Amino acid sequence: MKDNQKLLFKLLVFSFMTVFVVSCGTNKKGTPIHMVAPNNSSNSNKATAKGYHRVQAGENLFRISLKYNTTVANLVHINNISNPNQINVGDLIKISRTSNTKQHKQTATSKPKLNKPLATNQVLTEMNFSWPVHGIVITNFNGSTSKGIDIHTTASTQVKAAQSGRVVYNDYVPGYGNLILISHNANNSILTAYGHNKNVLIRLNQQVKKGQIISTVGMNDSNQHVLHFEIRNNGNAVNPTLYLPK
């Protein structure tokens, strides 16, 4: 169970990293952001079997997941990838478990199985999240290009924890600036994310209370004083405004 929780957390942080991969390949702290570099290996030119994808130069798991309408977590799971940030040109990535005719027949004739809910809407509603800052929402959630909301406010506005929990991440992420992640349950499946922080007032693994000041608002890449806020459920972004006070 602990290993699964660690993998889930690694995938969550990786999802933040890959959404904002930039062509220069490094962040402001000089930490490399892994993009597959071209090589001259003949592997990249081999025919690819159905149900698989051969990694090309410039690709990462996030881009591959978008191409095949799946998730990074799914690709990591079915390919037994230990480090989702390290793939190479020419690698074969399995896209689906159902890679042969027999499996397809079984899928077609068997009754569809519904995935277990990540966490019911009621569970998220009962979390009673509060607004981390007061301001104007200038970017809304859409689930694809915007995984949360951007709240425009004044310089150095205090950022408060939307609910009690434990700080599980506190570092720079391209596109998010100084990013804080707070876990709100034991298995780290429900988290809130706070991006573009200026003065960070908490530390990693610190327990925080709802309404506690965790930072002050910094600026985004457009030099606007905004807080980027997300709610994540098992790594999946949900619309924060559905679970914040009206």
Whichever domain contains 56, its CATH number is: 3.10.350.10
Question: Which one has a higher pLDDT value, 60 or 157?
Answer: 157
Within 13 Å, how many C-alpha atoms sit on residue 174's CB side? Answer: 20
Distances (CA, A) of 93 to 38, 39, 52, 60, 83: 17, 18, 5, 11, 14
Pick from 4-8, 56-60, 178-182: least confident: 4-8
Give the CATH number, domain containing residue 202: 2.70.70.10
Q: Which residue bears the tokens 């959404």?
A: 19
Distance CA 43, CA 55 (A): 9
Residue 236's pLDDT band, with cuts at 50, 70 and 90, is confident
Query: Where a domain ends, among 108, 134, 165?
Result: 108
> Does 130 share its domain with 210?
yes
pLDDT of residue 6: 58
Determine the straight-line distance between the first and last CA of the chain, rounded to whole angstroms: 37
Distance CA 69, CA 121 (A): 24
Q: Is residue 220 assigned to a domain?
A: yes
Q: Is residue 116 assigned to a domain?
A: no
Report the relative pairing of strands 92-94 and 52-54 from DSSP bridges. Answer: antiparallel
Distances (CA, A) of 237 to 39, 141, 144: 35, 9, 9
Question: Which one has a higher pLDDT value, 77 or 116?
Answer: 77
Distance CA 5, CA 7 (A): 5
Distance CA 105, CA 98 (A): 9
Number of domains in the chain: 2
Q: Is residue 114 assigned to a domain?
A: no
Q: Whole-structure pTM over 0.85, yes or no? A: no
Identify whether the C-beta of residue 167 lies closer than 8 Å to the C-beta of residue 203. Answer: yes
Q: Domain range spanning residue 49? A: 2-108
Query: Where a domain ends, among 108, 129, 155?
Result: 108
